[in-house]
Amino acid sequence: MIADAIRTCVLSREEAPRDGLIRLVLGPDNAVHPDVRAKAPGRGAWIGVSRAEFEAGHAKGRLRGGLARAFKTGDFTLPDDLGDRIEEQLRRQALDRLGLEAKAGHVVTGSDRIGDNARAGRLHLLLHAADAGVDGARKLAQAWRVGRDAEGSDLKGLALPVDRTILSMALGRENVVHIGLIDARAAARVSQALDRWLRFIGPERATLPCETGSQGASTLTGDARGPAGTNEGF
């Protein structure tokens, strides 16, 4: 994917790098399908809004109008469950990315191993299951700050909107409660996938009880993202 390619959201009409947007494609069945990996053939359109804004635009007909302009035709079917399908693809992409990084050796799990890597300055991204304990998550975040010589900073972990069962399945490991990324580029790739997912589902659903991880991927303060919020190095 070309990192600096700019596209326009069909709902907000705002321009943004396409890496941060979601592609919709007009399929051969004349139906609109999500294409979050932006690889499917066919004429595409882009959205960069939250699910609440997407559903409002859908209900008011603005989504159909924007897609008709992008597709240069009004002859298409707009599924009622399109929002669900977009969300599921974003969720799957994020979890698949975590699984790939785990297979590549860029992920550590278990509080002891994550804590050791954090205090040694090798941790680049810290994630927690939705049902992670607050105390355990807080201790790992503190170890991360110690390793980065960042006492008093807002360097935190991120609680994901899935529980330990889902994370364990995604990584092919048992009882995954906490996840540490120990490679900077891998952390950037995971952060990008998480950012699109969490921004689409909205802050209300992305904010979870784990107090060390409710801020959303776009505000991670490690080096998981490039300068000025870009995805440099992808």
Q: What pLDDT is recorded for position 86?
A: 98
3-state helix, strand, coil in the chain (%, to 5): 45, 15, 40
- How far CA 145 is from CA of 35, 118, 195, in Å, comes to 37, 8, 22
**How confident is residue 70, by pLDDT bands cut at 50, 70 and 90?**
very high
Q: Alpha-carbon distance 158 to 114, whole Å?
A: 14
135-181: pLDDT as tens digits:
999 999 999 999 998 766 777 899 999 999 999 999 999 999 999 99
Pairing type for strands 125-128 and 158-159 reads parallel
- How far CA 84 is from CA of 4, 138, 228, in Å, comes to 28, 33, 31
Name the fold adopted by 87-229.
Answer: 60s Ribosomal Protein L30; Chain: A; (3.30.1330)
**How confident is residue 205, by pLDDT bands cut at 50, 70 and 90?**
low
Name the fold adopted by 6-80.
Answer: Hypothetical Cytosolic Protein; Chain: A; (3.30.1230)
Pairing type for strands 15-17 and 6-8 reads antiparallel
For residues 179-202, give the mean pLDDT.
Answer: 96
pLDDT above 60 for 212: no
Q: Which amino acid is at 87?
A: E
**How confident is residue 220, by pLDDT bands cut at 50, 70 and 90?**
very low
33-62: pLDDT as tens digits:
999 999 999 889 999 999 999 999 999 999
Q: What pLDDT is recorded for position 184?
A: 97
Instruction: List all residues 6 or more positions away from 85 whose beta carbon is below 8 Å from its beta carbon.
Output: 33, 34, 79
Please give the residue that has the higher pLDDT: either 219 or 117. Answer: 117
Q: What pLDDT is recorded for position 152?
A: 61
- How far CA 137 is from CA of 56, 114, 122, 181, in Å, comes to 36, 11, 17, 15
Please give the residue that has the higher pLDDT: either 96 or 203. Answer: 96
**Long-range Cβ contact pairs of 226-233 (< 8 A, separation 24 or more):** 226/188, 230/3, 230/17, 231/3, 231/17, 231/19, 231/188, 231/192, 232/3, 232/188, 233/185, 233/188
The ranges assigned to domains in the chain are 6-80, 87-229
Q: What pLDDT is recorded for position 154?
A: 74
Question: To the nearest 10°, the Cα dihedral for 129, 216, 99, 163?
Answer: 20
pLDDT above 80 for 219: no
Task: Name the strands in the sheet holding 44-47, side by side, starting at the edge strand that comes first in the sequence.
Answer: 32-34, 22-26, 44-47
pLDDT above 60 for 234: no
87-140: pLDDT as tens digits:
999 999 999 999 999 999 999 999 999 999 999 999 999 999 999 999 999 999
